[in-house]
Amino acid sequence: MSRSRHDRNRTRFLVCVMASLAAVVAPLPAASAPLQDPPPPGGSEETIALLDVRVNGWSLGLVARFYEANGRLSLPADQFDGLGFLVDEAWVTAVGDERRIWLDQVPGLQWEIDRASQVIYLTAPFERLKPRILEVAPGIPRVPARADWGAMLAYDAYGQWAKQSEAVDFARTLSVNLDARLFSPWFTATTTGFVTKSEAQPEEFIRLESWIDFDSTDNAVRLRLGDTYSAGPVWIRPFRFGGVQWMRDFSLRPDIVTTPTPEIRQDIGLPSTVDLFINGVQRYSTPVDPGTLRLTDLPIVGGSNMVSVVVTDQAGRRTQLYLPLYSSTEMLAQGMTTFNVEAGVARQNYAVDSNNYEGDFAQAAFGYGVTDQFTFSGYAAGAEDYASAAAGAAFSLGSFLFVDSALMLSDGAEGRGWAWYAGVEHIDPRFNFAASYFESDGYRDLADRFGYATFDRRATASAGLDMGRAGNLNVSWVMQREVGGAQSSVASGTWGVDLFDDRIHLSASAYAELEEDSWGAMVSLSFPLGASGDTQVYVQENWRKGEENVTSAQLRSEAFDQRLTWVLDGETGARDRGEIIADWDGRYSDIHASVATSDGATGYELGVAQSLVLMDNEIFIAGRIDDGFTVVEIDDSPGISVALENSHVGRTNARGRILITDLQSYAANAVSIDPLDLPMNASISDTATLVAPRARAGVVTRFPVTRARSALVTLRLPDGSPPPVGASVTIEGSEATGIVGFGGEIYLRDLAVGENRLELAWPDGRCSVAINVGAGGGLPRLGPYTCAP
């Protein structure tokens, strides 16, 4: 099949000739005439015709091969599929080694043949046609995450020293945070802790967390052994524990869209233009041929969405479709599931005691997207003399509101109890609102059993309004009442506006503790200094009931590609304070230094963060590493420029390696090298690749380099003249070729050390010559050699 204009003209000429011959032998039927019993396929009465195909009045620009037998038409199944029809195996008949479809077996399909122009007109309902799928905003590509063998030890040392030992705001302390990791293709093991030493206090080591992760990115499932947080729905309070956690973790697969993804389907009878609008903004436009159109991967945003599709055909007729919907990360797409199963012992006194565990438990939770508008979740937990269960439902009300609700039951030593939770949310480009309410009647959750505060009532409410040039306004209110305790409630609000072409930002905020009759307010102003915007000034005035006003100012600036940040900070009022801060984000270490004065006392701070990475049989030194990283390896290629996301990060060392940090785990990170930095005898097939390390682990990224001995060879013909410019040169025993340049010079690659025989050819002659190549480096100049016929 061919779609070009010239090929179609040639094809139609052939169609006319062949079809005319076929018509002489056995004229094809002019309309469908279905038979009940198919004739024996491939019989002697069968004829063949090549016909130009039009579907529902629209020319496909394609020609198909049709068979006629006893007044019935068939064509190969693969051609029927290629014409844009859906193929049902019930319609397929085997004819010898060929799979065919009889047209009268396809429900709703009609046809008519124009014998003069040798065109077949097929009329089919849209449900018989394959839909054309348009991915409006395709998701990010999936790059399989991996990790190689390696280890890392990181430390963050921080010290503070005061000239006056009795200073209130400063101390004489030294602390070192430690982070040790061992990673492999199968697991990642991590342990963290800190050592602290204070004046007049003994040195102390506290272990923070230790765990081993096993993850399956194919199934988005993670198994953790050790310390972690409990998981579950938003209405279940998390707590720290040590034990086993098995859960669905969609952060392992950022390419998976977990929220409902709407799809628009439209039948189009004429060539048209499709325009997609999201919340009144045009996001996509494309011409389409007649047929069934499916728009997928719509670029919707969180909250309320109004999706509109406008179809304009050739005659100017417009059809508009509306799809109101609400998107929330708490909703699961239809058929999608999430779960977590946990068992272990609750962690007590975290960051105070290294190994304080008390309280065995087990719990499990799951969620299931029943429909795109309804998600069901369940929860169950058990401990000694304790059991609880809960069920929740999350659903959207059109495009206006998202509702999350749950009913919880518990039974323990304190007796039976129950609680209910309800939350609502509305978000649109101009206004957002969220509220939640929890009330308990004797309900106790696991967090309560393990020492966390227990509430019998909690309520929150917040709202935000985008007022355009008048700025943004946000207000919130929080209330909670402890069991057997006092009730507290706080209301707060913030307003901010950009002035003078967004160069000055003015904001004001206030809060009130309603139960304690306390309040505070703040007004701040920020603006840049200079045209670059690297230096910012912040001025702030604070008021608080019963206290003296505080005025503060800050000057913040960045330099050296944002690697150096320095701050001048000061305040006056209730106390006089001043501080100078400098932070350096270096390739080999991160450094923090500051000098501060407060009420006549002076304090000094110094911090250094560094990571030692053992990978690929080499030790690398870097600054703070919070997530994934990679070692880029280009064998024996020092000084090669390497970039991350098209931003230069450094050059390879003497062994052709460089450590790159700040990679996003499980996501595609673009790593590339500059091929112009490679020596002339080196060639590389790919200069860029996508890398996805596992969380807190490293991976080796190799760029294979092929090295060949190269030389600049000068040749002469027997009469002393150079060979003709443009003559082709081949190396015996090699696929490498060359071209003769001016003066008989030829640049050749893939030469062997020792003798190499060259063959030259040009329109009027040919010759050959043997050259000798040494084993040295660089690009040698060889010759001149005499090339003889």
Residue 144 lies in a domain: no
Residue 46 lies in a domain: yes
β-strand pairing of 58-69 with 72-76: antiparallel
- Whichever domain contains 626, its CATH number is 2.60.40.2610
User: Could you tell me the two tokens for 621?
Assistant: 């030194």
Contacts of 325 (CB under 8 A, 6+ apart): 260, 262, 300, 305, 307, 396, 398, 399
Q: Are residues 34 and 117 in the same domain?
A: yes
For 239, other C-beta atoms within 10 Å of its C-beta total 21
β-strand pairing of 618-622 with 601-615: antiparallel
> Where does 708-773 show beta strands of DSSP type E?
709-716, 728-731, 737-739, 745-751, 754-762, 765-773
Is the pLDDT assigned to residue 741 strictly greater than 80? yes
Distance CA 317, CA 294 (A): 20
Q: Are residues 627 and 700 in the same domain?
A: yes
**DSSP symbol at 520:** E
Sheet holding 647-651, edge to edge: 647-651, 641-644, 669-673, 688-691
What is the rounded average pLDDT of the residues 774-778?
A: 73
Distance CA 159, CA 136 (A): 53
CA-nearest of 404, 375, 340 to 260 is 375
Give the number of domains in the chain: 4
Residue 194 lies in a domain: no
Distance CA 500, CA 502 (A): 5
Tokens 């809060």 correspond to 511
Q: Do the Cβ atoms of 710 and 680 come closer than 8 Å?
A: yes
Q: Which helix (H) or strand (E) holds 77?
A: helix 77-82
Q: Are residues 16 and 90 in the same domain?
A: yes
Q: Which helix (H) or strand (E) holds 22?
A: helix 5-25
Would you place residue 459 in the very low, low, confident or very high pLDDT band (cuts 50, 70, 90)? very high
Helix, strand and coil in the chain, % to nearest 5: 5, 60, 35
3-state secondary structure of 96: coil
For 750-772, write each residue's pLDDT tens digit: 888 889 999 999 998 999 999 99
Q: Which among 130, 161, 186 is the end of a domain?
A: 130
Would you place residue 692 in the very low, low, confident or very high pLDDT band (cuts 50, 70, 90)? very high
User: Could you tell me the two tokens for 604?
Assistant: 């000094």
> Measured in whole angstroms, how far is the alpha carbon of residue 318 from the centre of its chain?
36
Would you place residue 8 in the very low, low, confident or very high pLDDT band (cuts 50, 70, 90)? very low
The pTM (predicted TM-score) of the whole model is: 0.79
Class of residue 561 by CB neighbours under 10 A (exposed 0-12, middle 13-18, buried 19+):
exposed
Q: Do the Cβ atoms of 727 and 716 come closer than 8 Å?
A: no
Higher pLDDT, 345 or 141: 345
For 169-228, write each residue's pLDDT tens digit: 788 899 999 999 999 999 999 999 999 998 878 899 999 999 999 999 999 999 999 999
Is the pLDDT assigned to residue 355 strictly greater than 90? yes
Would you place residue 575 in the very low, low, confident or very high pLDDT band (cuts 50, 70, 90)? confident
Residue 126 lies in a domain: yes
3-state secondary structure of 744: helix
Contacts of 637 (CB under 8 A, 6+ apart): 652, 656, 677, 678, 679, 682, 705
User: Could you tell me the two tokens for 498?
Assistant: 């950009």
Q: What is the pLDDT of residue 42?
A: 47
Domain that includes residue 758, residue range: 709-786
Q: Are residues 761 and 658 in the same domain?
A: no
What is the DSSP code string of 623-647? S---SEEEEEE-TT-TT-EEEETTE
Q: What is the pLDDT of residue 767?
A: 94
Q: What is the pLDDT of residue 183?
A: 97
Q: Which among 707, 726, 756 is the end of a domain?
A: 707
Is the pLDDT assigned to residue 419 strictly greater than 90? yes
Q: Are residues 20 and 118 in the same domain?
A: yes
Q: What is the pLDDT of residue 413?
A: 87
Q: CA 379 → CA 129, 232, 363, 376, distances in Å?
A: 45, 8, 7, 11
Q: Do the Cβ atoms of 424 and 403 come closer than 8 Å?
A: yes
Q: Which among 327, 351, 381 is the end of a domain?
A: 327
Q: What is the pLDDT of residue 432?
A: 92
- Whichever domain contains 310, its CATH number is 2.60.40.3110
> Measured in whole angstroms, how far is the alpha carbon of residue 342 from the centre of its chain?
28
Q: Are residues 643 and 661 in the same domain?
A: yes
Q: Do the Cβ atoms of 175 and 206 come closer than 8 Å?
A: no
CA-nearest of 67, 65, 79 to 39 is 67
Please write down the HEC assignment for all residues of 458-480: EEEEEEEEECHHHCEEEEEEEEE
**Which range, of 28-42, 49-63, 179-193, averages the lowest pLDDT?**
28-42
Please write down the HEC assignment for all residues of 370-382: EECCEEEEEEEEE
**Which range, of 8-22, 273-287, 623-637, averages the lowest pLDDT?**
8-22
Is the pLDDT assigned to residue 666 strictly greater than 90? yes
Residue 516 lies in a domain: no
Tokens 């030593």 correspond to 413
Q: What is the pLDDT of residue 777?
A: 67
What is the DSSP code string of 536-587? EEEEEEEEETTS--EEEEEEEEEETTTTEEEEEEEEESSS-EEEEEEEEE-S
Which parts of 401-526 fold into alpha helices (H)?
Answer: 446-449
Distance CA 560, CA 337 (A): 47
> Measured in whole angstroms, how far is the alpha carbon of residue 433 from the centre of its chain?
28
Q: Are residues 96 and 11 in the same domain?
A: yes
Would you place residue 22 in the very low, low, confident or very high pLDDT band (cuts 50, 70, 90)? very low
What is the rounded average pLDDT of the residues 287-297?
A: 83
Contacts of 676 (CB under 8 A, 6+ apart): none
Q: Are residues 642 and 738 in the same domain?
A: no
What is the rounded average pLDDT of the residues 692-715?
A: 91
User: Could you tell me the two tokens for 497?
Assistant: 């506006």
Backbone φ and ψ for 462, nearest 5 degrees, come out as -150, 150
Would you place residue 29 in the very low, low, confident or very high pLDDT band (cuts 50, 70, 90)? very low
CA-nearest of 640, 648, 721, 634 to 685 is 634
Query: pLDDT exceeding 70 applies to what percent of the chain?
Result: 94
Class of residue 521 by CB neighbours under 10 A (exposed 0-12, middle 13-18, buried 19+):
middle
Q: What is the pLDDT of residue 236?
A: 94
- Whichever domain contains 779, its CATH number is 2.60.40.2070
Is the pLDDT assigned to residue 393 strictly greater than 70? yes
Is the pLDDT assigned to residue 263 strictly greater than 90? no
What is the rounded average pLDDT of the residues 313-342?
A: 87
Residue 689 lies in a domain: yes
Q: Are residues 23 and 114 in the same domain?
A: yes
Q: Are residues 690 and 740 in the same domain?
A: no
- Whichever domain contains 19, its CATH number is 3.10.20.410
> What mean pLDDT is reported for the chain?
88
Q: CA 637 → CA 123, 699, 710, distances in Å?
A: 64, 19, 17
User: Could you tell me the two tokens for 339?
Assistant: 């779960």
Q: What is the CA radius of gyration of the chain?
A: 37
Is the pLDDT assigned to residue 3 strictly greater than 60? no
Q: Are residues 675 and 748 in the same domain?
A: no
Residue 389 lies in a domain: no
Query: pLDDT exceeding 90 applies to what percent of the chain?
Result: 61
3-state secondary structure of 334: coil
Query: Can you list the pairs that 585-588 forms with residues at least 24 positions away whose Cβ atoms lie under 8 Å?
Result: 585/623, 586/623, 587/622, 587/623, 587/650, 588/621, 588/622, 588/623
Amino acid found at 484: G
Residue 642 lies in a domain: yes
Q: Are residues 724 and 689 in the same domain?
A: no
Class of residue 285 by CB neighbours under 10 A (exposed 0-12, middle 13-18, buried 19+):
exposed
- Using left for φ > 0, alpha for ψ between -120 and 50, and beta otherwise, residue 128 falls in alpha
Q: Which helix (H) or strand (E) holds 15?
A: helix 5-25
Sheet holding 628-633, edge to edge: 657-663, 628-633, 698-702
CA-nearest of 298, 296, 365, 367 to 327 is 298
Strand partners, 556: 536, 567
Q: Do the Cβ atoms of 56 and 26 come closer than 8 Å?
A: no
Is the pLDDT assigned to residue 296 strictly greater than 90? no
